Chains A and B, each alone.
Chain A
Amino acid sequence: MTRDEIFAKVVEIVKPFVKNEDALAAVTDDTNILEDLKVNSARLVDIILNFEDEFDIEVEDEDADAVNTVGDAVALILEKLS
């Protein structure tokens, strides 16, 4: 899977929890999931679980702690897949 494909899937997974559609329309690696996309932080667990299911990976809580931006999520998934 290419980085672009992972990025697209991450955006798709995050999308149902996004409260700021404008920020999603302009999403980049630097887009912050909580602050820019206004995702409810209690939903981060749901998003991580969906990453696990979608990419067939396991994300430790410590790894998940480092995810702030969409780019962080893509980097984490790339690392887990490699």
Chain B
Amino acid sequence: MADRAFARWKDGGVMGADTALARLSPDEVLELLPQQEPFRFVDEILEVDEEHIVARYRFRPEADFYRGHFPGDPITPGVILLESLAQVGVVALGIYIYALRYGRDGVKTRIALFTDANIDFSGIVKPGERVTVTARKTFFRRNKLRSEASMALEDGTVVCAGTISGFGVER
């Protein structure tokens, strides 16, 4: 299904006369983020514009995955760090860019699917730590968004960085 959707290269968006283009605030972007507990890894968006985004998240010590990753020695799984990068650098930044082109309603009828990533991990995140995710748009074409994203601890240590991409499809 998804691949068929991808194959429809043309924007599904209809640029109708009543499409109100919207410059969303950071809080509005957060509100439109479809991922919810227990799979939301963004607490607040500090900055967002057409080129970049900065957001924060504190990893909840009570998160279920720490029980198994690893028993008695909890660290945040790399895939969860990657998910956080993607929720900020692809989904949230994508929502902002989409709203500029298709309006709020255009955002609500689409969902971002992960397409590819190339990430280096260089540090670990312990339960309870707060991270800052920064992402800068590489390109947005044909509904595909690619960003350079990185995650840093409060002392500035970068724990992971690289490129992530996603594709907007109609729900």
Q: Which chain A residues have a beta carbon within 8 Å of chain B's beta carbons?
A: 34, 40-45, 48-49, 61, 64-65
Contacts of A45 in B (CB 8 A): 139, 141-142, 144
Known contacts: A42-B115, A42-B116, A42-B167. The answer to whether A49 contacts B6 by CB under 8 A is no
Contact between A49 and B9, CB atoms less than 8 A apart: no
Contact between B7 and A65, CB atoms less than 8 A apart: no
Contacts of B139 in A (CB 8 A): 45, 49
- The contact of A41 among B7, B10, B141, B165, by CB within 8 Å, is B7
Nearest to A42 among chain B residues (CB) is B115
Contacts of B6 in A (CB 8 A): 40-42
B3 at the interface (CB under 8 A from A): yes
- The contact of B116 among A41, A43, A48, A61, by CB within 8 Å, is A43
Q: How far is the CA of A65 from the CA of B142 in the complex (A)?
A: 10
8 Å CB contacts to A: which residues of B44-79?
none
Which DSSP category, helix, strand, loop or mixed, fits chain A's interface? helix
Nearest to A59 among chain B residues (CB) is B141
Known contacts: A42-B144, A45-B144. The answer to whether A34 contacts B116 by CB under 8 A is no
Contacts of B115 in A (CB 8 A): 40, 42-43
Contact between A41 and B142, CB atoms less than 8 A apart: no
Nearest to B114 among chain A residues (CB) is A42
Contact between A49 and B167, CB atoms less than 8 A apart: no
Contact between A41 and B3, CB atoms less than 8 A apart: yes
Known contacts: A41-B3, A41-B6, A42-B6. The answer to whether A61 contacts B141 by CB under 8 A is yes
Q: How far is the CA of A43 from the CA of B142 in the complex (A)?
A: 11
